């Protein structure tokens, strides 16, 4: 649609959020509010949108890098001024401007397509999207004539009691003929150094221009986000939509009420999510996995048949049939090859683990490359930090590291080598070798009995 341009208004600070962060950057389902809208525009077939930025413009541009072009509204003079700035940036070939708002993140792509089609069918100068809300507080009310035609949009601050009782509201979404809009915007009245786009409606009507309204029945999908409470309401709506998508894709969710899945998460068929599971960011999970209970996975990839119980996995990759937990933590940069077992209270960071390796209990493995079929004994610690820098550790295939071993990096344990329990290893161990780094045991026969007797004799005296 080369003659139709979408613009997203996202310049405002959002004072009612009581936040130092621009409203457009608050996240819903792990995605910034304004990015949800930009995605809907692309899905609707309108191409790359323009985004009007102002407050924290650089941060908004960074969040949408490669996904939008930008118009700067350096001073916050309202939606009318934002659209006027947009008109200055449009090529002359643009006939219609689709105006969207960055704080309406649940807008369906299909609604945008319907809006464009309805507008063209009625050859309107402007077409706005309206909906009915049980509690319309905070929204501009749509005032209609006796024959049902739109007459005006009245902001709540300017509405009398009768108008405030109207439940049909303006969503802020609409499409406008550019050839009529520029002149009209210059005529908008000022309100405390701001002018508002909806006030263009009665001005167009006064010129006998056609203004249409497309009524959208699902108010929850076109709600604006102005407060933290509204953000929470939208989160609940999106969360249910996400879970419904997963149900339809063959995922079992044992307790939807305690399962939280971000919008970009992908999960394969026949995977089971147990209660108190949190799947965040761009996580991708394979088929026939068992995730949870009480598990958090952040921006990670899990292969088929993986099980993670009561554990945290962050920015890591797990190949098929791995087992993790309970109570383990895989930090950023961890990679587990097929059939790896990470048991209880094990922490890994920036570590690659080979096929079939096991670390069953109470260990820390950091900045390491560990081969296949290695046994990591309980209490093993890779001492990777010297107070100034991190150092690597290499453990070869089929090595055996006994319990309570300290591997002081940089160090290499060769393939098939053994590290005796209780050892602190500071030198490389050759393949097939044995490292014993502990003091020799000494046994003093009768020492404990004699000590006890001395204590008794001292007490009596």
Task: Say if strands 406-408 and 381-383 run parallel, antiparallel, or are unpaired.
Answer: parallel
d(CA 348, CA 332): 8
Residue 318 and residue 167: Cα distance in Å, rounded?
51
| 3-class state of residue 38 by DSSP | helix
d(CA 56, CA 332): 29
Residues ≥6 apart with Cβ < 8 Å to 156: 137, 138, 139, 140, 141, 164
Known catalytic residue: 361?
yes
Question: Can you tell me which residue has the tokens 């937990």?
Answer: 325
Active site residue: 329, 361, 391, 455, which one? 361
Q: Sort strands 141-144 and 150-154 into parallel, antiparallel or unpaired.
A: antiparallel
Two structure tokens written together for 90? 């449009």
- Answer yes or no: are the C-beta atoms of 175 and 126 closer than 8 Å: yes
Q: Return d(Cα 334, Cα 347) in angstroms, integer.
A: 10
Packed helices 33-43 and 109-121: angle between N→C axes, nearest 10 degrees: 60
SS3 content of the chain, % helix, strand, coil (to 5): 25, 30, 45
Task: Tell whether omega for the bond before 326 is within 30 degrees of 0, i.e. cis.
Answer: yes
Note whether 371 and 357 are within 8 A (CB).
Answer: yes
Rounded-to-integer distance, Cα 414 and Cα 366, Å: 18
Active-site residues: which are they? 361
């Amino acid at each position: 649609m080369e003659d139709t341009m979408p613009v997203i208004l996202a310049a405002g600070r959002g004072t009612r959020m009581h936040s130092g962060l621009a409203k457009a950057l608050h996240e819903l389902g792990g995605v910034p509010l304004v990015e949800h809208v930009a995605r809907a525009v692309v899905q609707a077939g309108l191409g790359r949108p323009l985004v009007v930025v102002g407050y924290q413009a650089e941060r908004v541009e960074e969040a949408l890098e490669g996904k939008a072009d930008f118009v700067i509204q350096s001073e916050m003079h309202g939606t009318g001024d934002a659209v006027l700035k947009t008109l200055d940036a449009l090529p002359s070939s643009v006939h219609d401007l689709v105006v969207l708002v960055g704080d309406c993140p649940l807008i369906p792509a299909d609604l945008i397509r319907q809006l464009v089609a309805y507008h063209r069918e009625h050859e309107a100068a402007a077409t706005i999207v309206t909906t009915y809300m049980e509690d319309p507080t905070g929204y501009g009310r749509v005032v209609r004539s006796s024959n049902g035609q739109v007459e005006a949009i009245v902001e709540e601050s300017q509405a009398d009691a009768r108008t405030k009782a109207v439940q049909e509201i303006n969503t802020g979404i609409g499409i406008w003929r550019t050839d009529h809009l520029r002149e009209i915007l210059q005529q908008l009245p000022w309100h405390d150094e701001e002018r508002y786009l909806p006030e263009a409606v009665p001005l167009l009507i006064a010129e006998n221009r056609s203004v249409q309204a497309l009524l959208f029945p699902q108010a929850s999908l076109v709600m604006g986000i102005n407060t933290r409470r509204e953000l929470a309401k939208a989160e609940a709506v999106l969360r249910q939509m996400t879970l419904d998508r997963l149900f339809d894709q063959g995922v079992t969710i044992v307790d939807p009420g305690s399962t939280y899945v971000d919008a970009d998460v992908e999960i394969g068929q026949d995977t089971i999510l147990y209660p108190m599971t949190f799947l965040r960011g761009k996580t991708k999970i394979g088929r026939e996995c068992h995730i949870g209970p009480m598990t958090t996975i952040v921006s990670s990839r899990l292969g088929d048949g993986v099980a993670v119980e009561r554990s945290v996995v962050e920015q890591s990759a797990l190949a098929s049939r791995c087992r993790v937990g309970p109570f383990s933590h895989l930090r950023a940069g961890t990679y587990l090859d097929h059939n790896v077992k990470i048991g209880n209270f094990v922490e890994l960071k920036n570590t690659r683990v080979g096929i079939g390796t096991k670390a069953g209990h109470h260990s820390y493995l950091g900045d390491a490359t560990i081969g296949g079929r290695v046994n990591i004994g309980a209490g093993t610690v890779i001492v990777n930090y010297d107070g100034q820098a991190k150092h690597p550790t290499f453990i070869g295939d089929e090595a055996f590291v006994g319990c309570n071993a300290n591997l002081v990096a940089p160090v290499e344990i060769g393939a098939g080598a053994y590290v005796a329990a209780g050892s602190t290893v500071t030198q490389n161990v050759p393949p097939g070798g044995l490292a014993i780094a502990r003091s020799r045991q000494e046994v003093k026969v009768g020492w404990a009995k004699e000590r006890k007797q001395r204590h008794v004799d001292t007490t009596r005296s």
